[in-house]
């Protein structure tokens, strides 16, 4: 965008719309202003050329803008995304964050496996039916209204690129490019306003970092430093989603 505006400035300068910033031109402009004299009128052909060029450059800036539909398509493209996760919970009462590490598996069609490995080992599955916790007897559905449940559903929507689902509960503000973008979420539903004050998501081809700020002052940071896109689930991952 900056390059486009720089090009616009240079183009308009060639038809006399932008004063050059050298000393002589600046001094001449000041002298004409003091004497009450004005610069000679530009020919209509030059004005028309400048307007046409400005219009084309503005259209080009819109064409190159990275929007929410493009972000959704980019994140939804891989059939499977998997990799390590690092989750930090920053509590006001503690000087150091509580850190959890593990692995995640995202299936575009089936949902999200959240496999915590330290300090405690625990697996979760988030899908269209809600949130399930792995127990010795199998997957057990969990209550769906607490902060952890809301965060889990949010992670699933963000990682899948479901911006239409997010837009029902958040105001979305996207900036950057396809290679390096930032998405800011501000809650607009009464329920989520009681939980989150804002959410910041950073990424490129895939989501790399999610930061959630809660209304009472705590915040969480999720980092996905080495995510990899894949074509299919492993046999074990298929069983985990099927059970």
Phi, psi of 128 (to 5 degrees): -65, -20
Residues 16 and 127 in one domain: no
pTM metric for this prediction: 0.71
In order, the DSSP letters of 60-113 are HHHHH---HHHHHHHHHS-SEEEEEEEEEEE-TT-SS-EEEEEEEEEETTTEEE
More confident residue, 214 or 129: 214
Q: What is the pLDDT of residues 28-74, one digit of tens each?
A: 544 454 455 555 555 665 555 555 554 444 444 444 589 999 999 99
Alpha-carbon radius of gyration of the chain: 26
Number of structural domains (the chain) is: 2
Residues 117 and 154 in one domain: yes
Residues 42 and 138 in one domain: no
Q: Measured between alpha carbons, how far is residue 176 from residues 65, 182, 186 in Å?
A: 8, 6, 18
Residues 123 and 139 in one domain: yes
With CA atoms as reference, report the closest residue to 185 among 160, 206, 157, 204. 157
* CATH at residue 106: 2.50.20.10
Residues 121 and 93 in one domain: yes
- Domain of 100? 69-242
């Amino acid at each position: 965008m900056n390059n486009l505006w720089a090009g616009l400035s240079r183009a308009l300068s060639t038809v006399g719309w932008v004063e050059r910033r050298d000393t002589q031109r600046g001094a001449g402009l000041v002298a004409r202003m003091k004497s009450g004299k004005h610069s000679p009128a530009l020919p209509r052909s030059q004005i028309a050329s400048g307007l046409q060029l400005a219009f084309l450059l503005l259209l080009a800036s819109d064409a190159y803008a990275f929007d929410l539909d493009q972000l959704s398509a980019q994140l939804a493209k891989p059939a499977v995304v998997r990799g390590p996760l690092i989750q930090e919970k920053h509590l006001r009462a503690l000087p150091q964050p509580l850190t959890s590490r593990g692995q995640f598996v995202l299936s575009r069609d089936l949902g999200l496996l959240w496999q915590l490995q330290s300090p405690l080992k625990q697996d979760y599955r988030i899908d269209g039916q809600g949130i399930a916790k792995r127990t010795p007897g199998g997957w057990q559905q969990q209550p769906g209204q607490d902060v952890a449940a809301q965060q889990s559903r949010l992670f699933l929507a963000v990682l899948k690129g479901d911006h239409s689902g997010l837009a029902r509960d958040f105001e979305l503000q996207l900036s950057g490019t396809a290679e390096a973008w930032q998405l800011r979420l501000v809650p607009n539903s009464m329920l989520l306003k009681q939980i989150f004050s804002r959410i910041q998501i950073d990424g490129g081809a895939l989501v790399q970092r999610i930061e959630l700020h809660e209304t009472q002052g705590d915040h969480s940071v999720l980092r996905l430093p080495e995510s990899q896109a894949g074509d299919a689930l492993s046999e074990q991952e298929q069983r985990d989603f099927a059970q």
